[in-house]
Amino acid sequence: MDDRVSRRTLNRAALARQSLTARADLPALDMVRHLVGLQAQAADPPYLGLWTRLSGFTHDDLTGLLYDRSVVRSSVLRGTQHIVTAADFPWLRPLMRGPLGRARQAAFGRATAGMDLDELAAAGRDLLRGRTLTRPRLRDLLAERWPDRDAEALAWSVQTLVPVIHRPPSGTWGKGGATPFTLAEEWLGVAMAAEPRVDDLVPRYLAAFGPAGVRDLQMWSGLRGLEADLERLRPRLRVYRDETGAELFDLPEAELPDPGTPVPVRFLPAFDNLVVAYADRTRIMTDEHRRRVCVGSMVAPTVLVDGFVRGTWKIAKDRDTAVLAVELFEPVTDGATAAELVEEGERLLRFAAAGRAHDVRVTTAQS
């Protein structure tokens, strides 16, 4: 059956499945699994992404999962850094060979032209076996074997060719520094899947982001050419159409919420997957606002008002004070919403900048 679905219904469906209409009372591990992965190019955004979706979430909830190996941080979806569950990584990482390979070729293909990449991967494995190396240390060791090559390109290439984990404290709240590499098989104690299936990924994506089209799934995952896969899975899925007539797929048991469902103010971190999970992002923000949020490879932290991206935010800290600066794209004229922006902003500061004096400043961007 083909049913037409409004943009606002798609918005409410996405927010409900992301626990943004109401915070979920779930363990952090369950939410990581439900979302498939949390974008983790920087250490803090995964914590903020869980905080905005879970009731009672604390920093230790995610840090503990990283240390006890229940979740791992590595290059996964779109070939970018994510936190995923240890149970998902062994099949999800091999499924991303295509996106990882394209990213490596685009960035370092010229520097590694003519090299035997299997030989490079084997050398990386040999160097990492039984120990953890930072990327700079791996670079230096690879330079000894290939002194005439760009060693930085070699180290980055190994990261895409060999499944590695960035073990904690890397990736924990507030921690920066050189990225450590540990062989994933050694960290997890299991082998990577030899034949991962996109069939395992499609229902997981739809459960957290659906209804969605083929191009949306490809944008979120980084995979290409999934039209035949969705066509093969069609009998197991429900089909909708959006306001433009584009085809959308969903799980047959998934319900669509009332488009009038109220949504509280929510703060999303930089690179949140909700903002980048669709080719057509108008269910979350207008095309004009997208140009302000997604600039080059950067995706700004965003604030949702009535479920749509209405502005961006950032926190400036010194030793004693933390200031949350919210810049809206248009003024908020409703007094209750304005008060809610400040109230939710203060909650964010209590989580992200505990022990400091807090100040929330809401302004409107100059057009």
**The pTM of the whole model exceeds 0.75:** yes
pLDDT surpasses 60 at 315: yes
- Distance from the first to the final alpha carbon of the chain: 44
Q: What is the pLDDT of residue 176?
A: 79
pLDDT in tens, 12-69: 999 999 999 999 999 999 999 999 999 999 999 999 999 999 999 999 999 999 999 9
Confidence grade of residue 2 (pLDDT, cut at 50, 70, 90): low
| Helical H segments across 72-134, by residue range | 89-95, 97-108, 117-128
Q: What is the pLDDT of residue 177?
A: 81
| CA-based nearest residue to 11, from 295, 211, 290, 292 | 211
Q: Which residue has the tokens 């004009």?
A: 288
DSSP symbols for 117-161: HHHHHHHHHHHHTTS-EEHHHHHHHHHHH-TTS-HHHHHHHHHHH
CB 226 within 8 A of CB 95: no
pLDDT surpasses 90 at 205: yes
Give the start-to-end residue ranges of the domains of the chain: 1-284, 296-364
pLDDT in tens, 246-300: 999 999 999 999 999 999 999 999 999 999 999 999 999 999 999 999 998 889 9
Burial (CB count <10 Å: 0-12, 13-18, 19+), residue 151: buried
Q: Does domain 296-364 have CATH number 3.30.70?
A: yes
Instruction: For residue 258, report the phi and psi dihedrals to the nearest 5 degrees.
Output: -65, 130
pLDDT surpasses 90 at 146: yes
